[in-house]
Chains A and B, each alone.
Chain A
Amino acid sequence: MATLQTRATARLMMSPAVILLFLWMIVPLVMTLYFSFLRYNLLMPGTEEFIGFLNYQYFLTDPAFFTALGNTLMLVGGTLLITVVGGVLLALVLDQPFWGQGIVRLLVIAPFFVMPTVSALVWKNMLMHPVNGLFAWIARSFGFQPIDWFAQLPLFSIILIVAWQWLPFATLILLTALQSLDGEQIEAAEMDGAGAFSRFFYLVLPHMSRAITVVILIQTIFLLSVFAEILVTTNGGPGLQTTNITYLIYAQALLQFDVGGASAGGIVAVVLANIVAFFLIRLIGKNLER
C-alpha cells in the first residue's frame, strides 16, 4: 500500500501541527511545574528561591482551597444533573413528530452559541435582578417574595446560568443518539405489551447510555474551567461562595501576583482534570477502533 515515499510525505505533512501542539503543551506545563517549586511573587522581584513543596503545602492546606474544591464539585455536579436529566427529557420530546419541529430545535440549541459574558450578564441583570428583574416580577405577580438570587443563592444562580448554556449541547447529542435507535425494536416491545416506562428504562436508556457518558465526560472537562460567568457576575463572592478552583488560581496569579502559589494550584487543577480525561480518552479511543 503506502510506499516509503508517501510515508515520508505523510510524516512531513503532519509535523507542523504535531510539533506546534507538542511545544504548546509541554513548554508552559514544564514552566508551571518549575514555578510551582519557587517562591516567586511579581511584587517582590529578586526574592525567587527554591522552596520545594512549600507552595503545594500552602495551597492544599488553605481553607480557601477546600471551599473552592467544594464549589467546583457543586458547580460541575449541579450543572451535570440539570443538563443530563433535562437533556434526556428534551431529546425525548424533540424526537416525537410535531409541527414546527425544526424551528423548535433551533430555538433549543440557541443558548449554546451565546458568548458566556453575554449570557451571564443578561441573566444576572435582566432576569435575576431582585427589584426590576423578570423573575422578581413573576414572583410578585404570584404573591411571593422575590428571591435576591446573587445574594441568597449565588452558587445556584451561576449553576442555573451555566446549565442554560450547556443544556443545548446535552440535548443535541442525546437526540442524535436517540435518532439512531431502531424503530422496529421499539415496535416489537410495544407489541409484546411493554409500557412506555419499561420501554424507556429497558430499551431507550440503555441505548443512550454511551452518549450520556460522552456528555458527562466532555461537559466535566469544560465545567471544571468555568471562569467568565463567575468573573462578570460575582467575582467569586460574596466571600468565597462562588470561587471555583479556576477562579481561585486566577485570583492568586493575576490579582495577588503569587506566581509560585498559582503554579502549584495550576498543577493541582491539571491533575484533577486528568483524572476525568483518562476515562474520556479511553472511551473515545475504543470508539476509534470500530
Chain B
Amino acid sequence: MARAVTPRRKLIFTIVGWSIGFLIFFPILWTFLTSFKSEGTAIATPPQFLFFDWTLENYHEVQSRSDYMKHVINSVVISVGSTLIGLALAIPAAWAMAFSPTKRTKDVLMWMLSTKMMPPVGVLVPLYLIFRDWGLLDTRLGLVAILTMINLPIIVWMLYTYFKEIPGEILEAARMDGASLMKEIVYVLTPMAVPGIASTMLLNIILAWNEAFWTLNLTAANAAPLTAFIASYSSPEGLFWAKLSAASTMAIAPILIMGWFSQKQLVRGLTFGAVK
C-alpha cells in the first residue's frame, strides 16, 4: 500500500492499540502478578500492583500438593496422546482426500465437519454409562479416546487444506520417474507436508489441553487434568487468591506460549478453511 502514514496518525494508533491490548491482557497479567504475592497482599485494598514483597512461596505450595504433578502429567498425556493418535488416523485420510479425490470426497469432508457440530450434552448420558460399564470413568485412556474423536474432524480438515496446497505436478513427476506409492509418500510428500502437520499438532494440543466439558464430567481424582484441578479451587480454596493464581499461571503459561506460535494456524483450523 502506498498510503502515506503520518507520524501523528501512527502515534495516535500506537496509544490506542497499546491501551486496548493492555486492557484485554490485563486479567492474565493480574493473575501472573498475584501469583507472587502473599495471601494477605493478594486481597489488599488498595491493590498492590508492582511494589510488594515478591515471593515464590505459592509456587512451592501448589507444587508440594501431593497430587499436583499427577494433574500436570494427566494434562500432558491426554492432550499429546489424543493429538498423536488423531494424527495417525487423520494423515492417511487427509492424504487420500487431497491426492486422489473422488466425487464423494467433499461429502465425506462435510460430514466429518458436521460431527463437530453435535453438542456434547447430546451424548453425555450414553457415554457416561458406557464409561461406567467399561471401567473407563476417571481413566486417562477414556479421555484420550474421547478427545481424539472430538478433535479428529479438525485435524483432518486442517491437514486437508495443507495437503491441497502441495502441487500435484510434483507427484506426477515422481510417478514418471517410477516411484512407488510408498516412496512417493516417504520421499516426496512427507518433507513438504511437515510444516502443516506440525502446526496442526500444535493447535490440537492447545484445544485438547483446554477442553473442559468431558474432562470435568468424566474424571474425578485419578485422571483429572489441570482443567479439573483448577476447578477444584472454585470453593472454598478460591479464597486463596495467590495460590489460585500460581496454579493458574502454571496451567496456562506453556499453552499460551504455544498459542502465540500457532496464531496463524488458529484461523485456518477453527474456521475449517473458510477464512484463510
Contact = CB atoms under 8 A, between A and B. Distances in A.
B77 interface: no
B114 A176 contact: no
Interface stretch (B53-61, B62-70, B96-104, B189-197): B96-104
Interface residues of A, number: 108
B158 interface: no
A261 to B, nearest CB: 10
A101 to B, nearest CB: 7
Given A13-B92, A94-B17, A277-B117, A253 B124 contact: yes
A28 B117 contact: no
B259 A109 contact: yes
Interface string B139-174: 000000000010011001000000000000000000
Contacts of B100: 1-2, 6-7, 9-10
B227 A176 contact: no
28 contacts: A10-B96, A16-B93, A17-B92, A17-B93, A17-B112, A25-B118, A31-B129, A96-B17, A110-B24, A111-B24, A115-B209, A116-B210, A118-B230, A132-B45, A167-B24, A183-B3, A214-B274, A227-B120, A227-B213, A245-B121, A254-B124, A263-B125, A269-B122, A274-B117, A276-B117, A281-B117, A285-B110, A288-B110
Given A100-B14, A273-B117, 19 more contacts: A10-B100, A14-B92, A14-B97, A21-B112, A25-B118, A35-B125, A93-B16, A100-B18, A105-B263, A110-B256, A113-B260, A117-B231, A126-B27, A126-B42, A225-B213, A231-B231, A232-B231, A249-B121, A288-B273
Given A115-B212, A173-B275, A32 B263 contact: no
Interface string A252-265: 01100001001101
B28 A284 contact: no
A190 to B, nearest CB: 8
B274 A287 contact: yes
B178 interface: no
B39 to A, nearest CB: 11
A41 to B, nearest CB: 12
Given A17-B152, A277-B117, A176 B275 contact: yes
Q: Secondary structure at chain B's binding surface: helix, strand, loop or mixed?
A: helix
A22 to B, nearest CB: 9
A127 interface: yes
A13 B95 contact: yes
Interface of A: 1-2, 6-7, 9-11, 13-14, 16-18, 20-21, 24-25, 27-29, 31-32, 35, 90, 93-94, 96-101, 103-119, 121-127, 132, 134, 137, 141, 164, 167-169, 172-173, 176-177, 183, 187, 210-211, 214, 218, 221, 224-225, 227-228, 231-233, 245-246, 249-250, 253-254, 259, 262-263, 265-267, 269-270, 272-274, 276-277, 280-281, 283-285, 287-289
B135 interface: no
Given A35-B126, A96-B17, A121 B121 contact: no
A195 B124 CA distance: 53
Contacts of A167: 24
Nearest to A225: B119
Nearest to B129: A259
Contacts of A126: 27, 30-31, 34, 42, 241, 244-245
A225 B16 CA distance: 34
Contacts of B263: 105-106, 109, 172
A122 B31 contact: yes
Contact of B259 (A105, A112, A231, A246): A112
A115 B252 contact: yes
Given A115-B230, A118-B251, A20 B149 contact: yes
Contact of A288 (B96, B106, B130, B230): B106
Contacts of B217: 250, 254
B230 A117 contact: yes
A173 B3 CA distance: 24
Nearest to A126: B241
B76 interface: no
A225 B121 CA distance: 8
